[in-house]
Chain A
């Protein structure tokens, strides 16, 4: 069955430090992969996506992610974290049914310390 695992429930990073959020997926075919961010009480905002091609993808707000097929991973990175990056981050895989359903991980909460 398709699934997404985000091993880290909560991460605290100092402002200005680098960030890496981990994501592993299980899917039999070539995956469509996404990272979304959710601020408290808000909907989901798309940070970046991977469909095919270059395995290093750039997103909004200075985020990037690297697709590694051999490791079934799609980790999110940012070189320098800002206090406004504190939020919940979700990794998702797009699963082809009649349409496309997104299967989400349980999320990683990012706290930023000053």
Chain B
């Protein structure tokens, strides 16, 4: 059974740029959630995707957007990067209706 994978592991961007992060869900899982974890903080819920549609959203501005593909993989896109977007971005997969989420290793984004 393949776990949740994320790419890239690290990346560095400058303020104002756009970034795309990728996530492959665990085999058999149809729901993907994204979280932002700032340094020294707990993860914060960004949004969740199910059946290729946004299925719940946290308190994040519209410049945070996502996609889910037919194979259940997902992308997180962030436009107009700000310094405060520097964080570890975690992807979690689950089965819709099951509350247990399995996390990937994360992507460390640094905005300069």
Contact = CB atoms under 8 A, between A and B. Distances in A.
Contacts of B4: 43
Interface in B70-108: 90, 92, 94, 96, 99-106, 108
A105 B58 contact: no
Contacts of A103: 45
A100 B99 contact: yes
Interface residues of B, number: 28
B41 interface: yes
A97 B99 CA distance: 11
A100 B95 CA distance: 10
Given A98-B56, A99-B50, A104 B103 contact: no
Interface string A85-113: 00000101010011111111111000000
- Of A32, A92, A97, A106, most B-chain CB atoms within 10 Å: A97
Given A46-B102, A98-B55, A104 B48 contact: no
Contacts of B100: 34, 46, 49
Contacts of B40: 106
Contacts of A114: none
B41 to A, nearest CB: 6
19 contacts: A4-B42, A32-B99, A44-B90, A44-B92, A44-B103, A46-B100, A46-B101, A46-B102, A49-B99, A97-B56, A98-B50, A99-B33, A99-B96, A100-B48, A100-B99, A101-B58, A102-B45, A106-B40, A107-B41
